[in-house]
């Protein structure tokens, strides 16, 4: 039922590892056998080790093999549940996990995390709101959560005060994410009422004790989609965003005035956020990038190298501490769409009832340094023109190094 079987002996002492390289292959299933087999199957139960390298492969037919640890693909299967010490798989230059645990409930998720599983894939939508609306994801080693096209409803926090966060990282991806349409699996969070009727803020993802990397997927909140607020100094780099969609939802609670930058995309309170790519779109009166220093000991920093950014307030600053809030822009495409047609680069507090804003901070406590990118407004006030050029072409301004 399979096209290729990687199931050799344990190898000699000189060549203990078997390497299979597959390039530019098309696997066609004639559908004559009623079996569930992937195009390439790996596995053994006697201690052999394998390296499987696949580049530019296409699969027509075949099936996801239900035996062993699920890979979630018809391309290859790990039918004997080989671990990472015995099987390394690289597809189109990206190493993929040999062992995947599929979870379909909050209980499944917690068991997988407590067991130290390195790669967790959602097999169904999971609702966190029944557990108070948020989940403090504790883990003992580097862990990847794959949304796999499903919706995680509620707020995900990377760890709790009980976590051992020494240099461990939570990575969130969505293997079904389409970067052209921004469709795929999602973490969706919104304001909610807690015990006693108190309103509780909720973010889609908060970097709390562990550092967080986001590779793909959708992250939507009517508070702020991603918040960096690391309490552990070993995770001070906070959040790295390499791709995905980050949106501000306007699904507000009727008749309630909401504090803060409602419907924002990314906020740094403690630690550093690095943005390398992605699509960022705030709600109508939300802020796209928010730098609000929450510590007197260390500056809050957001470094932007790429991505597409759109919203009413592009850069929102705030601080009630002695440290600074800093945003460094090295690249990206920035479009401001304000209801009043202006560009707001200031600290703001938006109220839901009348969309008013009020200054919160002395401007001496924030820095906006623009060293690259394209803008639909003139960013010259925040460009060191001795080192960088600002050129205009119609309604577009571009910043480049001299």
The 10s digit of each residue's pLDDT in 123-175 is 899 987 655 445 666 666 778 899 999 998 877 877 654 445 556 788 999 98
Contact by Cβ (8 Å): 272, 308: no
282-318 pLDDT tens trace = 887 678 888 887 666 677 899 999 999 998 778 877 7
Contact by Cβ (8 Å): 334, 293: no
Other CB atoms within 10 A of residue 398 CB: 15
pLDDT(16) > 90 = no
Average pLDDT score over residue span 242-252: 83
pLDDT the model gives residue 105: 86
Average pLDDT score over residue span 370-392: 92
* pTM: predicted TM-score of the whole model, two decimal places: 0.75
- Confidence grade of residue 368 (pLDDT, cut at 50, 70, 90): confident
Say if residue 100 is exposed, middle or buried (CB neighbours under 10 Å; 0-12, 13-18, 19+). buried
pLDDT the model gives residue 162: 47
pLDDT the model gives residue 182: 95
Q: Mark 3-24 as b/e (b = at least 16 C-beta within 10 Å).
A: bbebbeeeeeeeeeebebebee
**Residue whose token pair is 């999971």:** 126
317-344 pLDDT tens trace = 776 666 788 899 999 999 887 655 555 5
What is the C-alpha to C-alpha distance for residues 379 and 199, in angstroms, rounded to an integer?
37
pLDDT(348) > 80 = no
pLDDT the model gives residue 356: 31
Q: Which residue(s) pair with 302 in the sheet? A: 273, 327
**Residue whose token pair is 């930058």:** 261
Other CB atoms within 10 A of residue 237 CB: 18
Count of CA atoms in the C-beta half-sphere (13 A) of 171: 18
Instruction: Give, in degrees to the nearest 5, the angle at Cα 386 between 385 and 391.
Output: 40
pLDDT: which is higher, 98 or 233: 98
């Amino acid at each position: 039922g399979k096209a290729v079987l990687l199931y050799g002996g344990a190898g000699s002492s000189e060549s203990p590892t078997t390497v299979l390289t597959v390039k530019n292959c098309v696997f066609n299933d004639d559908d004559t056998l009623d079996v569930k087999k992937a195009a390439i199957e790996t596995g053994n139960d006697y201690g052999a080790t394998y390296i499987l390298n696949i580049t530019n492969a296409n699969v027509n037919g075949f099936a996801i093999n239900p035996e062993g640890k699920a890979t979630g693909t018809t391309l290859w299967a790990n039918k004997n549940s080989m671990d990472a010490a015995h099987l390394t798989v690289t597809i189109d230059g990206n190493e993929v996990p040999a062992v995947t645990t599929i979870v379909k409930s909050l209980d499944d998720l917690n068991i997988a995390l407590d067991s130290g599983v390195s790669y967790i894939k959602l097999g169904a939508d999971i609702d966190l709101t029944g557990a108070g609306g948020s989940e403090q994801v504790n883990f003992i080693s580097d862990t990847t959560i794959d949304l796999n096209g499903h919706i995680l409803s509620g707020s995900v926090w990377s760890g709790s005060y009980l976590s051992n966060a020494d240099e461990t990282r939570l990575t969130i991806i969505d293997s079904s994410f389409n970067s052209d349409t921004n469709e795929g699996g999602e973490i969706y969070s919104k304001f909610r009422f807690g015990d006693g009727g108190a309103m509780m803020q909720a973010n889609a993802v908060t970097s709390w004790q562990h550092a967080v990397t986001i590779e793909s997927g959708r992250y939507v909140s009517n508070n702020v989609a991603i918040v960096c607020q690391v309490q552990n100094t070993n995770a001070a780099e906070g959040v790295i965003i390499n791709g995905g969609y980050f949106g501000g939802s306007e699904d507000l609670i009727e008749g309630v005035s909401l504090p803060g930058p409602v419907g924002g995309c990314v906020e740094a309170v403690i630690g550093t956020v690095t943005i390398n790519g992605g699509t960022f779109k705030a709600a109508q009166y939300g802020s796209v990038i928010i730098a609000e220093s929450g510590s007197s000991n260390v500056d809050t920093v957001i470094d932007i190298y790429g991505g597409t950014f759109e919203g009413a307030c592009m850069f929102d600053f705030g601080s009630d501490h002695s440290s600074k809030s800093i945003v460094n822009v090295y690249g990206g495409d920035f479009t401001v769409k304000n209801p009043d047609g202006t560009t707001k680069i200031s600290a703001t507090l938006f109220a839901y009832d009348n969309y008013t804003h009020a200054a919160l901070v002395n401007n001496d406590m924030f820095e906006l340094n623009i060293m690259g990118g394209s803008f639909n407004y003139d960013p010259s006030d925040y460009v060191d023109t001795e080192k960088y050029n600002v050129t205009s072409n119609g309604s577009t301004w571009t910043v480049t190094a001299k």
